[in-house]
Every structure is written in structure tokens, then in C-alpha cells.
């Protein structure tokens, strides 16, 4: 077991000082050709690599990005991580991933763990519990310490920082309009509680589309499920108690699940009823019929977030200007709607 070699080791072995070694390896002008060559050769031979931790301590830069998300087993979030990772790695940054598991406490704990020097900045999406409690002191504390934060997707106006979202309202509007244009008049919505920023925006888009097209919004056609869990019975009931010819769902699981229910009732998709969901994941692609969705472009979102964060991290300026980037959603038409 050959342990890692340090500057000190090289210095001792070559009978020079540590500073000389350090400078030689950086090709400093201060050091003579001979000495540099000797040191560089030795370092190469023994495969010297500077210790990241020591460098971090010295520069007060870790080259680590902390990512805190509600759930890692979730297609949208993993695509965001992929985007973050892609951009960050190319810039020499590593990504530390923590999942809050939709819990406020775990979100706070994770941030505290990372905020004590482990990372240069945060990229995060709020847990549902946090959005429900509406308590953002952990975020404020971090930003007050000068640690940059980028919020994506599930954001809040309560904290000043950079933000990246898609235009959720527009997405829902596009979806609803698509169905209206195809002659649907009784459009249902399956969503989650309103405290989730994205669900709220999507509901607004849905309402807007209906109103603009002179359809009245029948509240009985809106089903609010708590959190992201499936409540089979509720959906079943909703589906039987109301008369609809199209359904917009705020995620793909709701959509795929409800499609199955519809099929069991003997309804043909998309002839009798059409479906549109959010999130362009595996489920939508491989569902039967495949699901028309509003794509949220998770990877792009991750890349943009990482870019904004790294810019802040690397900028010396103490500017207190924050921006919110709004990405355009896209309608991906598949077989759950008429073509």
C-alpha cells in the first residue's frame, strides 16, 4: 500500500524546501530550469497529486456544489441532477447530493451539514413540507453567510436568490388549450395541494385556458390529492362522480394511473377521453397508450442552475442582483391525445 505522496515528501527526498517544490510544480519563473525538471520528473514518477482538502482550506473554495432535492427516485429530479453534474464536472466541480425526502427537518439538517465549509453553493428544490410550513429561515441564514443559492422548480419568493423554473402556468395553459382545440369541453384536473408552488401555477394555467375559451370552471372537475402519493380510492371516486372527456394531470404518475382506470371502465383513449401529463419521463414514453406531456426540460434546468451558481461562486463582486430564469415548457404529443 503506497500512501499518497506530499510536497513535504518530495522536498525531503530531493533536499529542497517545500516552497521550492510547490513553485516548481506550478512552473514558476522563480525556479531554475534544472531544479524544475528534476522536481517535475520526480513528481510524475511518484504520481503526485495535490491534496484537495488542503487546497480547499487554503483558498476557501471547495469546488463542491451541494444539491438538495425532495426525492432522488424521481425522473424529473434525476434529469436535473444530470444537467447539474454535466455542467459542474466540466468546470471541475463535484456534486454532493442530499435528499430531503420531502421533509423540512431533513432539508435543514442537510443544509447545515453542508454549509460548514463543505460546499461553495447550493442548488435546491424545496421539500413539500417546507413549502407547506412556509418557513425559509434555513435558506436565509445560508444566504446571509454569503453562500450563493439557486432555487429551481419548487421555489419561493420569500428568499432572495437566483431561481430557475419553467413557466408552469403556460405549460398547463398549452395543455388545456390543446384539448380544447380538439373539441373537449369537460376537462378535468388532477393536482396536488396548492402549497406546492408548481401545482398552484399549473392550476392557474388550467383555469386561464378554460376561461379564455368560454368554458366555465367546474370545481368538481378538480381533484386535489395530498402530496405525491396515489390515493386509489379518491381517484376512483372522482372519476365516477364527474363527467369528463379530458384530464390534465400535474405529473405522469397521476396520468398513467388514471388512464388505466379509464381503460378499465371501457373508455377508449384518446377517442373517448384524452390525457395530458407533466414530466416527460419513462412512464410517459412507455405507457400504453403513450402519454402526451408537457416536458419540463429537467436537464436544461440543471445546466442553467449550475451555470448561474458557478458564476456567482466565481465572481468576486458582491453584487446583490438576483435573476429568475424562466424556461419554456414544450408540448410532446403522443397517443393519449388526438393527433
Partner DNA sequence: TTTCGCAACGAAAACGGTTTCGTGTTGATA
Partner DNA sequence: TATCAACACGAAACCGTTTTCGTTGCGAAA
Q: Which residues bind its own copies (CB under 8 A)?
A: 1-4, 49-54, 56-57, 62, 64, 72-75, 78-79, 81-82, 85, 89, 92, 94-99, 110, 112-118, 144-146, 253, 256-257, 259-260, 263, 282-283, 286-288, 318
Q: How many helices (H) and strands (E) does the chain have?
A: 14, 12
| Those residues with Cβ within 8 angstroms of residue 327's Cβ, 6 or more apart along the chain or in another chain | 164, 165, 166, 167, 297, 300, 301, 304
CB atoms within 10 A of CB 141: 14
Binding partner of residue 282 among DNA, its own copies, none, CB under 5 to 8 Å per kind?
A: its own copies
Q: Is residue 58 within the footprint of DNA (CB under 7 A)?
A: yes
Q: Is the CB of 227 or the CB of 288 nearer to its own copies? A: 288
Please report, for residues 26, 66, 176, 178, 226, the alpha-carbon distance to residue 172 in angstroms, rounded to integers and kept in the order given.
55, 31, 6, 10, 19
As measured in angstroms, the least distance from the Cβ of 230 to its own copies is 9
Q: Is the CB of 35 or the CB of 156 nearer to DNA? A: 35
Q: Which of 12, 13, 57, 264 binds DNA (CB under 7 A)?
A: 57
Q: Is the CB of 10 or the CB of 253 nearer to DNA? A: 10
Helix 104-115 vs helix 137-144: angle between axes, to the nearest 10 degrees? 10
As measured in angstroms, the least distance from the Cβ of 222 to DNA is 52
Place of cell 437566483: 162
How far apart (Å, rounded) are the C-alpha atoms in residues 118 and 142? 13
As measured in angstroms, the least distance from the Cβ of 317 to DNA is 19
| Three cell numbers written together for 46 | 511518484
Q: Which of 23, 154, 297, 312 binds DNA (CB under 7 A)?
A: 23
Q: Is residue 40 within the footprint of DNA (CB under 7 A)?
A: no
Q: Contact region for DNA (CB under 7 A) — 52-60, 95-103, 121-129, 192-200?
A: 52-60
Please report, for residues 68, 75, 157, 158, 334, the alpha-carbon distance to residue 304 in angstroms, rounded to integers and kept in the order given.
16, 18, 19, 21, 27
Please give the backbone phi and psi of residue 304, each rounded to the nearest 5 degrees, phi first. -65, -45
Q: Contact region for DNA (CB under 7 A) — 29-37, 195-203, 271-279, 314-322?
A: 29-37
Q: Which of 35, 132, 143, 263 binds DNA (CB under 7 A)?
A: 35
Binding partner of residue 16 among DNA, its own copies, none, CB under 5 to 8 Å per kind?
A: DNA
Size, binding site for DNA by CB under 7 A:
31
| Three cell numbers written together for 292 | 402526451
Q: Which of 41, 55, 90, 230 binds DNA (CB under 7 A)?
A: 55
CB atoms within 10 A of CB 189: 26
CB-count burial class (<10 Å; 0-12, 13-18, 19+) for 204: middle
Q: Is residue 54 within the footprint of DNA (CB under 7 A)?
A: yes
For residue 236, the surrounding DSSP H or E stretch is helix 232-241
Helix 33-45 vs helix 18-25: angle between axes, to the nearest 10 degrees? 90
Q: Is residue 34 within the footprint of DNA (CB under 7 A)?
A: yes
Note the Cα 260 to chain centre separation in Å.
29
How far apart (Å, rounded) are the C-alpha atoms in residues 63 and 67? 13
As measured in angstroms, the least distance from the Cβ of 174 to its own copies is 24
Q: Is the CB of 119 or the CB of 165 nearer to DNA? A: 119
Q: Is residue 6 within the footprint of DNA (CB under 7 A)?
A: yes
| Three cell numbers written together for 92 | 471541475
Q: Is the CB of 51 or the CB of 226 nearer to DNA? A: 51
Interaction site with DNA (CB under 7 A):
4, 6-8, 15-20, 22-23, 25-26, 30-35, 48-51, 53-55, 57-60
Amino acid at each position: 500500500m503506497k500512501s499518497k505522496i506530499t510536497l513535504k515528501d518530495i522536498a525531503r527526498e530531493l533536499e529542497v524546501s517545500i516552497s521550492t517544490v510547490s513553485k516548481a510544480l506550478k512552473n514558476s519563473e522563480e525556479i531554475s530550469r534544472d531544479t524544475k525538471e528534476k522536481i517535475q520528473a520526480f513528481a510524475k514518477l511518484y504520481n503526485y497529486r495535490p491534496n484537495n482538502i488542503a487546497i480547499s482550506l487554503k483558498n476557501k473554495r471547495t469546488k463542491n456544489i451541494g444539491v438538495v432535492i425532495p426525492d432522488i427516485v424521481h425522473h424529473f429530479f434525476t434529469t436535473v441532477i444530470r444537467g447539474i453534474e454535466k455542467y459542474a464536472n466540466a468546470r471541475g466541480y463535484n456534486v454532493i447530493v442530499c435528499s430531503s425526502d420531502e421533509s423540512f427537518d431533513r432539508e435543514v439538517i442537510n443544509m447545515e451539514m453542508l454549509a460548514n465549509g463543505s460546499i461553495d453553493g447550493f442548488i435546491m428544490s424545496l421539500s413539500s413540507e417546507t413549502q407547506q410550513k412556509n418557513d425559509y429561515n434555513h435558506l436565509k441564514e445560508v444566504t446571509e453567510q454569503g453562500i450563493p443559492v439557486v432555487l429551481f422548480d419548487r421555489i419561493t419568493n420569500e428568499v432572495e436568490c437566483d431561481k430557475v423554473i419553467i413557466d408552469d402556468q403556460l405549460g398547463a395553459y398549452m395543455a388545456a388549450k390543446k384539448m380544447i382545440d380538439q373539441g373537449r369541453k369537460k376537462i378535468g384536473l388532477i393536482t396536488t395541494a396548492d402549497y406546492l408552488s408548481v401545482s398552484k401555477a399549473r392550476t392557474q394555467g388550467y383555469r386561464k385556458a378554460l376561461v379564455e375559451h368560454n368554458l366555465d370552471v367546474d370545481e368538481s372537475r378538480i381533484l386535489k390529492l395530498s402530496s405525491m402519493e396515489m390515493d386509489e380510492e379518491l381517484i376512483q371516486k372522482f372519476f365516477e362522480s364527474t363527467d369528463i372527456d379530458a384530464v390534465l394531470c400535474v405529473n405522469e404518475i397521476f396520468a398513467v394511473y388514471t388512464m388505466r382506470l379509464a381503460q378499465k371502465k371501457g373508455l377508449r383513449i384518446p377517442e373517448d377521453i384524452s390525457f395530458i401529463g407533466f414530466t416527460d419521463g419513462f412512464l410517459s414514453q412507455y405507457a400504453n397508450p403513450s402519454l402526451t406531456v408537457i416536458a419540463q426540460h429537467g436537464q436544461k434546468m440543471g445546466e442553467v442552475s449550475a451555470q448561474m451558481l458557478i458564476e456567482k461562486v466565481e465572481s468576486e463582486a458582491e453584487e446583490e442582483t438576483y435573476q429568475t430564469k424562466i424556461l419554456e415548457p414544450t408540448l410532446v404529443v403522443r397517443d393519449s391525445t388526438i393527433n
